Every structure is written in structure tokens, then in C-alpha cells.
Structure 1
Amino acid sequence: MLNHYRKRLIEQLLAQGISNSNVLEVMGATERHMFVDEALSSHAYTNNALPIGYGQTISQPYIVARMTQALLSQTNISKVLEIGTGCGYQTAILAQLVKKVYTVERIKPLLDKAQKRLEILGLNNIVFSHNDGYLGWNKYKSYQGIIVTAAPTEIPEALLNQLSIGGCLIIPIGYKGKQSLLKIIRNHNTYEQYVLDQVSFVPLQKGLI
């Protein structure tokens, strides 16, 4: 049974065009307050991004739902790479909708906290890596889906190369104040590219912390 705040959030997502019933069900069932500091828990079910430390944010629920729905609009999405674990919220949503999630985070304290949260939730189909997201995770390629939760100014070549044929990359691209959310589909010799939305993400950065 959804509590009042989660039910209201799902109603907002429906009104904003989120129509995938599986995405809505998982978003409604996932306790977002577990992924933010206790001081911000009263804001956990508002449709807003919130700070999680180290200059990073937990994405607005609409954006999480939008990206997840766009990814799942492709068929046979079972193996997904996430670039930017952050607090683990997007990871948790994905892990309840696909068979296997590989997630990469460059900030070790965030990764450690996220891993503990996701273990508490009993999500055991996630593999974690402390690494540079620009490099993707070549060891486990090819991925049917890749989601990037921070914005580079150009699409990292490694991510394109790690997509399977027919695979789907969801990624924000651009500079602060001028970013587009893209859906990219890999064909045998070409890539299809679609603009989904105008967005605002923290920048994707190189190196490890």
C-alpha cells in the first residue's frame, strides 16, 4: 500500500507522461527516503533533485522515471551498465526491472554507502565498481542498456563501444544550463540519436576520489 506522499509522487509522474506501469510500480514501492540524509527525508517524495554530498545529487524522480522508461522502451534490456552510482537510487530502480546491473562510481564514500543501502534492500543482482565512468566497464560488455547519471560535454567513445548491437544508451550531454537528454541506439554500423528532453545534471568528471 502506497503511503500518501509516494502516491502523490506517482500521480505527478503519470501527469508528466510516465506511462510504463512497471516503472511506476517500482518507483512507488521504492523508499526514496533511504537514499538521502535524515535531515532531508521530509523532502524525499517531492519531485526534486536533492544533495547527497561531494557536489552530487539524487536525481529528480521524474528524470529517473523518464530515463528508465526510455531505456526499457527498447526490447530485451536485461544487462545494464550505470555510470554514476551516486546514492544508489537509480541503481535500485534498475535492479528491480532488469536481470543484472553493473554500476560504476568514481567517489568511493558514495559507492560504499550505496552498496550498503542496496544490500539492506536485498537487491543482489548488482555488481559495483570504483572506477572512472568515462571508461565504462569493459570487462562485462556488451550491455543492452547504459544509463549515465552525470553530463559529459561529449559522448564517451568507450560507452558507445560497450553497447551491444541494438543496445540503448541514455545520456545527458552538454554544458551547465544547456544540456540535452539523448537516447542513442547502436545498429551494426551506425548509431541512431534522439533528443528526449532538456535537463540539468552535474558534470561527468574523470578520475577517482
Structure 2
Amino acid sequence: MALPMNSQVDPRDVHAQARFNMIEQQIRPWNVLDEQVLELLGKVRREDYVPPEHVTLAYCDIEIPLHGTPDEAAAKGWIMLAPKIEARMAQDLQIKPSDRVLEIGSGSGYMAALLAAQAKEVVTLEIVPELAEMARENLLSAGVKNVEVKLADGATAAAALGQFDVIVLSGSVAQIPDSLIAQLNDGGRIAAIVGQQPVMRFTLVTKTGNEFKLSQPWDTVAPRLTSFEEPSRFNF
């Protein structure tokens, strides 16, 4: 697929074609139709957040390993989520310019960059030191100034950070902890991929006053976030 004649993509950008193809062939077909989100995906250079050895995979419809061997990365959740997952999450969260956002699971910093481009400020937590440093360096190199990367266990450290308008779990959990839901401001949203393989559901909880609305608009599968509680298993 060629770039349209009136494309605003810089022809000097060697990844422009791949970025355009990602949007048109992966993102739009997955019901990501918000023009602001699509424009954002065209501006944030995903290749800047991919390890150099995997830069050719930056715009592929796959999870990209960030640390260790590919098998280890997949098993421990040291990956970038597929582009369409991050794009759909960004669309469904409906980030506002006034929002204070918490992300758990920084990875390479790409999702934080997408959130930061829409929000007032982002705090992102990463439990793996090498990934926290990677995210910090990537965001700094990209000139993203409204993100703070913290080396911390998101399952236990989030409570000390106060209230947020949006909380994003960039990975899967068995269930969304009540403690995180309690950190939402009025009108706040918390999003995570919830469940067990082979089927998980994107889950969005919205707070209005003292009421909480839950929706699960689409299914997917994602690696687990570290340290979050798993349901007990009975041994017979």
C-alpha cells in the first residue's frame, strides 16, 4: 500500500510506510476509528521504543520481547503489547487534557508516550530495573516531559501515589484490585485485560459519584503483570 499523495508523513522518515500500513491494516480494522488516536499513532514513533535488535518488528502485529530471551520475555511479560491492543486501549479510555494518569507496567515506555500526548501528566511504574531504565531513556530521547517513570511494584506501591483520573494496567491480571479502583477520582476510568487463558477480556471500570460502571467490550490475551494476586487453586 502506497502513501497517499496528500499524506502529512515526512518522506525523510524511513519508517513512515510501515507506520501508515500499521494504522490502515491493523488498527482501523480493529475498530479503532477515533481520528485523534489515529493521528497520535502516526506521530509517536514506535520504533523509538523498540530494542535496536527488533526495530524491524516495530510495526508488526505481534508482541515484541524487551528483555532476556524471547521465551523468557514471553513467560515473564517483558514485552510490548501488539500495536492494536495499545491503540484500542488508548481509544476506549478517552483521555482528557486535564487527566492525571497512572500506568502499571512501563515496558519500553511506548504506552506511556501515547498517554502523555493526551493527558496532563503520567506516572508509570515498572518492577524490572532494566525495563524502567529503558522506558526512562526512551521517553527522554523522544522529548516526552510529562511522564515520571518509577521503579516500583505496581501491585503494592500505587496506593501511596494518591488519586488519578485514569489508571491503565499494561498487561493482564486475574482481577482488578479494589485498592486501585479506590484511587479513581470522580469520573475516573481504570482499564485492564482481565481473566485466564485462553480468553481474557478488556475491562473498563468508570466511576461516577459513588457508582461504578463495568464494561468488557472486546476479548484478547496478554501476559501477566508481576505480583498481582492470582485466584487460589485447589489440590485434590
TM-score using structure 1 length: 0.92
- Residue 85 of structure 1: aligned partner: 106
TM superposition shift of 1:66:
0.4
TM superposition shift of 1:136:
5.3
* Residue in structure 1 matching 2:63, options 49, 53, 66: 49
Segments of structure 2 that go 5 or more residues without pairing to the other structure are: 1-8, 11-15, 229-236
- Residue 172 of structure 2: aligned partner: 151
Aligned counterparts, 1:93-172, within 5 A: 93-135=114-156, 137-172=158-193
Structure 2 residue 49 is the aligned partner of structure 1 residue 35 = yes
* 1:174/1:180 contact within 8 Å kept: yes
Segments of structure 1 that go 5 or more residues without pairing to the other structure are: none
* More RCO (CA 8 Å, sep 6+): 1
Structure 2 residue 37 is the aligned partner of structure 1 residue 16 = no
Residues 179-200 of structure 1, C-alpha deviations (whole Å, 9 max, x = no match): 1110101133231100021111
Amino acid at match of 1:119: L
Distance of 1:61 and 1:204 partners within structure 2: 18
Q: Secondary structure at the match of 1:150?
A: strand
Distance of 1:83 and 1:100 partners within structure 2: 14
- Residue 195 of structure 1: aligned partner: 216
In our comparison, the structure showing a higher alpha carbon Rg is 2
Q: Secondary structure at the match of 1:81?
A: strand
* 2:205/2:215 contact within 8 Å kept: yes
- Provide runs of 4+ in structure 1 moved above 2 Å: 74-77, 135-141, 187-190
Q: Secondary structure at the match of 1:118?
A: helix
Distance of 1:153 and 1:178 partners within structure 2: 11
Structure 2 residue 34 is the aligned partner of structure 1 residue 7 = no
Aligned counterparts, 1:54-73, within 5 A: 54=68, 55=73, 56-72=78-94
Q: Tell me which moved more, 154-163 or 128-137.
A: 128-137
TM-score using structure 2 length: 0.82
CA-based RMSD:
1.8
Residues 6-38 of structure 1, C-alpha deviations (whole Å, 9 max, x = no match): 111111212321111221111111221222222
Residues 100-136 of structure 1, C-alpha deviations (whole Å, 9 max, x = no match): 0010111111001110110011111011211111135
Identity among equivalent pairs (%): 26
* Residue in structure 2 matching 1:183, options 201, 204, 224: 204
Q: Secondary structure at the match of 1:53?
A: coil
* 1:80/1:100 contact within 8 Å kept: yes
Residues 17-73 of structure 1, C-alpha deviations (whole Å, 9 max, x = no match): 11112211111112212222222211111222211125211011111110011111x
